[in-house]
Amino acid sequence: MTAVPTVPLNNGVAIPQLGLGTARLPDEETRRIVREALEVGYRFVDTAASYENERGVGEGIADSGLPREEVFVSTKLRGRDQGSDSAKEALRSSLDRLGLDFVDLYLIHWPLPRLDRYVASWQAMEELLAEGLTRAIGVSNFLPEHLDRLAAASSTVPAVNQIECHPREPQLEQRADDARRGIVTESWSPLANGGELLRQPVLAEVGARHGRTPAQVVLRWHVQQGLVTFPKASSRGRLVENLDVFDFALTDQDLAGIATLADGTRVDGQFPDVWEEF
């Protein structure tokens, strides 16, 4: 079984560096995949209220028979539930669907600046943290100006900022801003939904030098830079493949080649300053 390293968050909680993503998967499929992922060595599962599969995640964890403390679980506050009281109720509802007493990480899914409730939501999440309903709190898709507002209204620094990040959009400026604040950057859509990215010749060339697939090269690109990530997979073989990225290293030449892919392309055109998710 592959040993996945952990990354310390700014409150001392340790998060596995590579986990399982579950976006856009229905409950029954999620249940199977989570169970199989935990069987082959995953110890981190990422979900969200808006994915509408928290029940499947919880059932998969229960099916695994693993002790609760061995599985790191993160979920997210959806847009329509932002606000002081509603954010608190939203986590309790997520916990009910998950069948858990607490999550390890709770995130604001999108800033939704037009709604302008993310500061109140953050302050509610601080209370949820104090109550022990989550071990750490963070944000997703936040830009520096959103983080500045949180800093002005709260002394709690987000543990994580989960952002779209992959070789097409490496997010160098946002990652540097996160690091300056003591925030760990998590990469969502780490393979840019596969497809075109994984067909790029430079990834095949790098993979050939290391005896790895293009997907493994990209996932190694994430973890080697200290990012936390959680690719999706639907088959046991792909689950195993995605986890097998901790016993080789990309060279400076490899990294320079991968850097040529950076063109700012986002997978769904989801820009945090205007994107709305409810």
The confidence score (pLDDT) of residue 180 equals 98
Q: Catalytic residue among 42, 51, 106, 118, which?
A: 51
Known binding site: residues?
109
Rounded CA-CA distance 96/249 in Å is: 41
Fold of 15-191: TIM Barrel (3.20.20)
Rounded CA-CA distance 142/60 in Å is: 30
Mean pLDDT of the residues in the chain: 97
Domain residue limits, the chain = 15-191
- pLDDT < 50 regions, the chain: none
The confidence score (pLDDT) of residue 3 equals 86
The confidence score (pLDDT) of residue 66 equals 98
Q: Is 51 assigned a catalytic role?
A: yes
The confidence score (pLDDT) of residue 38 equals 98
Answer yes or no: pTM beyond 0.95: yes
Known binding site for substrate: residues?
109
